[in-house]
Amino acid sequence: MSKSSGGDGAQSPSVLKLGTRKSLLAWAQSGWVAREVERLNPGVRVELVGIETQGDRILDVSLQKMEGKEFFVAELDYALGEGRVDFTVHSMKDLSLERPAKFVLAAIPRRENQRDVVLFGPRALEKIREGRVLQIGTSSPRRLENIPSFLERALPQVAPEGGVPRLKFVEIRGNVNSRLARVHEPDGSARQLDAVVLAFAGLIRLWADEAGRQELAALLRGVRWMVLPLRENPTAPAQGALAVECRASDHRVRERLGRLHDVETERHVTVERGLLAEWGGGCHQKFGASSMPAAGIGDLFYIRGVKPEGGFVEKVEWHGKPEAPETHPIVPWDGTTWRSAQETTRIELGAADLSRPAFVSHWRAVPEEWTDRLGEARLWTSGVASWRQLAKRGLWVEGCAESLGFEHLSPILGERVLQLPAFGEWNVLTHETAAADWKSAHPLATYRVPVGYSDEARAALTRATHVFWSSGSQYEQLRALVPSGAHHACGPGKTAARLQGAGIEPTLFPSAEEWRKWLS
């Protein structure tokens, strides 16, 4: 792979010219595509050609106010149409729904993590404690619709008198490195921000690129991460995906590029862009739409925000939902509502090393007296509910498994840009009966839950036709009461593994709410 500033087309069939924007991120992701093309097509060499676009030149006008479309695409299209380059690479979310017929989408490579992240400057937590306003940079109407309400409850609740953090969102343009640099500006600077909202995929790609990693490493020093859950913060349709285009008439190039295509990525971005087409395309939209696979469940499609004609929508479409139950009448038993209301019992651990990163399986696993000791640890948890409870305690949570099980979270924790240690060096804070399930880390059994189910709960279970288990320990405590032939269900993860280990094959649901809808 080599670089170029221009040219008159490919010198030979073995050399392909790739047109790309000149930003650090665009160069990094185009470089990755170039290496993949070379790897999949032995003997082919790819040369990068940097092209400046309107969106790169005009940084003092918001995208919503700029005239025309394809702010980051038009100049690349022109070079491709003239034959100065053989193919182009775009962030797919920047492409309009209608593309010129003379071009063809030759490949959609494997998608990187589609989530948004918020990166906070080194003084953000101190400012929350002082009751000062945090200035957060983003220019996306979609992000402005969903993220503020989430952050108010996800940030540590340490403002004076227990108030929610004070947030002000500021319009911001520019490339990733210039935006991130603003969280390191001194207070009083006109460019200073306390946080910026960015696409996780861009940071992952920059870290994988040698030049990008060198610049990004310095900018990430001292920052605090938040990886936003997709249900509450779905992203722009096709975020994290790349579009590789060439001339429709160039069949040889199209064949070579087609070897990069990822069918699963295509399936998800097609769903997302289909909704964008239905509701009206453009960067001015105030809704997010994210489709993703969930192991053992099927595809989940999260939609949240304001529809073009007005009206707030928040829903999840589940592609892979099981057939409706045939048993009638249906008598449900919901373990999430019958869960014991008794107080938990603490387990004394002595001098545990709490400086390690920690996965908190449930908010109850953090003793009140540990809040200060965990204040500097990097914390992740099981779902948004536990995240918010930990935030009430004043703890900073970086992300969660979105109630889909730790296996869903594990690949995220492995992203190198997060600079987390291998999971074997982590603590897992959990309850007594689950500690043995965590053999690859350092489990800390911090509490036990007494068997506290009422006579009413037990009697209801003996009549149930359909049961949703909230935990593996709940199943083990009450399994003898379940009628033969009852249908078992639960969420994915450790609960499902515990039931499967007992010879039960539960139907997996993304949440108890979805199980209730399935029964209705």
Which tokens hold the place of 33?
Answer: 């595509």
The 10 Å CB-count burial string (b at 16+, else e) for 24-42 is bbbbbbbbbbbebbbeebe
Residue 330, helix vs strand vs coil = coil
Give me the pLDDT at residue 352, please: 79
Give me the pLDDT at residue 342, please: 56
Q: In what order do the strands lie in the sheet with 332-334?
A: 332-334, 466-469, 487-490, 507-508
Angle at 279 between CA 139 and CA 198, to 5 degrees: 25
pLDDT at 6 over 70: no
In 3D space, the residue among 290, 313, 285 whose CA is nearest the CA of residue 238 turns out to be 290
Domains of the chain (ranges, CATH numbers) = 2-109+239-260 (3.40.190.10), 116-227 (3.40.190), 332-339+452-519 (no CATH), 345-448 (3.40.50.10090)
Give me the pLDDT at residue 4, please: 58
Residue partners of 307: CB distance under 8 A and separation at least 6: 279, 287, 313
Q: Cα(129)–Cα(159) distance, rounded to whole angstroms?
A: 5
Q: Which of 48-62, 117-131, 227-241, 425-439 has the lowest mean pLDDT?
A: 48-62
pLDDT at 54 over 80: no
What string of DSSP letters covers 21-49? --SHHHHHHHHHHHHHHHHHSTT-EEEEE
Q: How does pLDDT run across 306-324, given as a tens digit for each residue?
A: 998 889 999 999 998 899 8
pLDDT at 235 over 60: yes
Give me the pLDDT at residue 349, please: 74
pLDDT at 8 over 60: no
Give me the pLDDT at residue 60, please: 45
Give me the pLDDT at residue 425, please: 95
Q: Which residue has the tokens 């060096």?
A: 425
Q: Which pLDDT band, with edges at 50, 70 and 90, does 280 fall under?
A: confident
In 3D space, the residue among 416, 354, 404 whose CA is nearest the CA of residue 379 turns out to be 354
Q: What mean pLDDT comes out for the span 113-130?
A: 97
pLDDT at 427 over 60: yes
Give me the pLDDT at residue 453, please: 82
pLDDT at 78 over 70: yes
Q: How does pLDDT run across 83-103, given as a tens digit for each residue?
A: 999 999 999 998 989 999 999
Calculate what percentage of the chain has a pLDDT beyond 70.
92
Q: Which pLDDT band, with edges at 50, 70 and 90, does 71 fall under?
A: low
Q: Tell me, what DSSP letter sits at residue 331?
A: -
Q: Is the backbone peptide bond immediately before 229 cis, with ω within 30 degrees of 0?
A: no
Give me the pLDDT at residue 282, please: 65
Give me the pLDDT at residue 466, please: 97
pLDDT at 374 over 80: yes
Angle at 179 between CA 240 and CA 270, to 5 degrees: 15
Give me the pLDDT at residue 433, please: 84
Q: Which of 73-77, 235-239, 347-351 has the lowest mean pLDDT?
A: 347-351
pLDDT at 67 over 60: no
Task: Specify which residues 227 forms β-bridges with.
Answer: 117
Give me the pLDDT at residue 13, please: 63
Q: What mean pLDDT comes out for the span 512-520?
A: 93
Q: Cα(41)–Cα(35) distance, rounded to whole angstroms?
A: 10
Q: Which residue has the tokens 């913060």?
A: 233
Q: Within 10 Å of residue 501's Cβ, how many Cβ atoms?
A: 10
Q: What mean pLDDT comes out for the span 243-270?
A: 97
E strands along 121-277, which residues?
134-137, 167-170, 195-199, 224-227, 242-247
pLDDT at 251 over 70: yes
Q: Cα(205)–Cα(215) distance, rounded to whole angstroms?
A: 13
Average pLDDT value over all residues in the chain: 90
pLDDT at 218 over 70: yes
Q: Which pLDDT band, with edges at 50, 70 and 90, does 418 fall under?
A: very high
Which tokens hold the place of 325?
Answer: 């139950």
Residues 143, 116 contacting (CB under 8 angstroms):
yes
Q: How does pLDDT run across 151-206, given as a tens digit for each residue?
A: 999 999 999 877 889 999 999 988 899 999 999 999 989 999 999 999 999 999 99
Q: Which of 175-184, 323-332, 374-383 has the lowest mean pLDDT?
A: 323-332
Higher pLDDT, 450 or 8: 450
Give the distance, in angstroms, between the CA of residue 228 and the centroid of all CA atoms in the same chain. Answer: 6
pTM for the full predicted model: 0.92
Q: What mean pLDDT comes out for the span 325-334?
A: 90
Three-state SS for 439-504 is CCCEEEEEEECCCCCCHHHHHHHHCCCEEEECCHHHHHHHHHHCCCCCEEEECCCHHHHHHHHCCC
Counted residue by residue, the chain has a size of 520
Terminal Cα-to-Cα distance of the chain (whole angstroms): 57
Q: Do β-strands 15-20 and 45-50 pair in parallel, antiparallel, or remain unpaired?
A: parallel
Q: Cα(250)–Cα(238) distance, rounded to whole angstroms?
A: 26
pLDDT at 505 over 60: yes
Give me the pLDDT at residue 47, please: 97
Give me the pLDDT at residue 68, please: 41
Q: Which pLDDT band, with edges at 50, 70 and 90, does 70 fall under?
A: low
Widest CA span of the chain, in angstroms? 82
Give me the pLDDT at residue 63, please: 45
Q: What mean pLDDT comes out for the span 494-505?
A: 93
Which burial class, exposed, middle or buried, applies to 2 when counting CB atoms under 10 A from its CB (0-12, 13-18, 19+)?
exposed
Q: Cα(436)–Cα(443) distance, rounded to whole angstroms?
A: 8
Q: Cα(463)–Cα(50) distance, rounded to whole angstroms?
A: 69
Which tokens hold the place of 154?
Answer: 């996800």
Task: Specify which residues 314 forms β-bridges with.
Answer: 304
Give me the pLDDT at residue 61, please: 45
pLDDT at 7 over 60: no
Residues 304, 314 contacting (CB under 8 angstroms):
yes
Q: Do β-strands 358-360 and 286-294 pair in parallel, antiparallel, or remain unpaired?
A: unpaired
Q: What mean pLDDT comes out for the span 276-298?
A: 88
Give me the pLDDT at residue 377, please: 93
